[in-house]
A and B are shown apart, each in its own frame.
Chain A
Amino acid sequence: MSHVEVMNGNRAAGIAACLARPDVIAAYPITPQSSVVEFISRMIAEGKLDAKICEVESEHSAMSVLEGASLAGARTFSATSSQGLALMYEPYFRASTLRLPIVMAIANREMISPQTLWASAQDSLSVRDAGWMQFYAEDNQEILDTLLQAFRIAEDSRVLLPINVCYDGFYLSHMSERVVVPDAEEVDAFLPDGYDPEHIVLDPDRPMAVDPLTNGDLLTEYRAKHLAAQQAALQVIEEVDAAFSNAFGRSWDGAVEPYRIDEGCQAIVVTLGSMTGAGREAVDRLRDDGEAVGLLKIRAVRPFPAREVREQLAGVPAVGVVDRNVSFGWNTGIIYQEVSSALYGVQGTARIPIISGLGGEDITVEMFEDALRKILVAGRLSSERRDETPETIWLRQEKEGGAA
């Protein structure tokens, strides 16, 4: 039987990782991730998890250790944040291009400068094109559940790609709430019994040269297969969520989750991560005022669920995307660009870029109400005006004194 505990997001991530019975864990401490690996380390020290944990001298080494372990057939796990992820970038790319199904939690943290510790998906979104799959969780239950799903998605023979489960630093990593923890037996029944690679392996009984110097002709072919695997993952994500729902009674709606979206919707706000809770509350308040508004939560950024996003948003008079990150050079956030690409060619749907909550600033329910009302106004423009590129809205809290 499952049981209920009050826990923070890092503990939820640590528990999920332990339930997946990884063989090798390697990580380097960084705020706000550190307590994930501290928890796993304690579980191993207490004899509750039979796994090898490697204390390494950097994140670059952490990912390199996991690549060796995964090549040898180990189920692997790590966790990192921000500058740690940046230092990991070189082996991070290799993990995906060698098709190693490594699972890594990312407690999202802003990138410097200025010096900062607090939430933003700037770190993981900046490496969204490095070939990994990336999920973003709204609450601690979703962290635990998505991590369990992640092992099964990553190791699926149609996918074989590494995966990040990302969640906002401090808002989730250090915030405690109710989480249902499944039993080990239930998880054992849901996940395959260990990772057993066929496609690439370091094994004296099956000798193969791994990662030799390769010309562009073959590299192109591997890239085409990698991109196809990302697309195949969209189907696998749906299947795994359905299997998860059967096993545990909770569904997360696959790659996107619509909230109060219906035929008559006049405005939809698109969210990522922990901000979604405030967004739902704002939608409820405006619905109480008689406004036809809804919310679309993006769960998977890679693979990007373009078809689902288009189906949910096309034809709605106005859509706003709230980004807790920026896309330098576009004057918008990153998810805005992703959503805009999915809506390419759609006419009569205004697309409003909204940047808010950088550096861990709160995005309040009132700010979401403000955003939704601005989106509603944009939706009342003529169809031609709606197709014009709108100004980016910088949604900030009113503060007294000093810099605004």
Chain B
Amino acid sequence: MRSEYIVPIGPDGIYEIKTGTWRTTDPRIDQDVCIRCGVCLMHCPVGAVKREEGRFTIDLEYCKGCGICAHECPKGAITMEGRLSA
């Protein structure tokens, strides 16, 4: 048995799959525009947004490039930059 749990909960699964390999566009946070509200962290479906020393950063190992954070950011501080077209 690999898991001590009987149900799918965070410590087992959330960082099991490197969803970053699915990404076709990269998120970029403009730290000068960011107001540190945390809306991006709350909405990220794969838990890829982290708060480090008061700043929000995105772990590209897990960001699958869905763009929800960019859509939800109240200041438009996050942009999705194309990889395929680059």
Contacts and interface: CB of A to CB of B under 8 A. Distances in A.
Nearest to A214: B13
Interface string A90-127: 00000001110000000000000000000000000000
B83 to A, nearest CB: 22
Contacts of B7: 97-99, 199-200, 222
B17 A200 contact: no
B54 interface: no
A160 B6 CA distance: 10
Contacts of A210: 8-10
A200 B2 CA distance: 18
A1 interface: no
* Interface size classification for chain B: 10 to 19
A214 B8 contact: yes
Contacts of B13: 209, 212-215, 218
Interface in B1-59: 1-3, 5-14, 16-17, 19, 46-47
A212 B48 CA distance: 12
29 contacts: A97-B7, A97-B8, A98-B7, A199-B5, A199-B9, A200-B9, A207-B10, A208-B11, A209-B9, A209-B14, A210-B10, A211-B8, A211-B9, A212-B9, A212-B10, A212-B12, A212-B14, A213-B16, A213-B17, A213-B19, A213-B46, A214-B12, A214-B17, A218-B2, A218-B3, A218-B12, A222-B6, A222-B8, A225-B6
Interface of B: 1-3, 5-14, 16-17, 19, 46-47
Interface of A: 97-99, 160, 199-200, 207-215, 217-219, 221-222, 225-226, 229
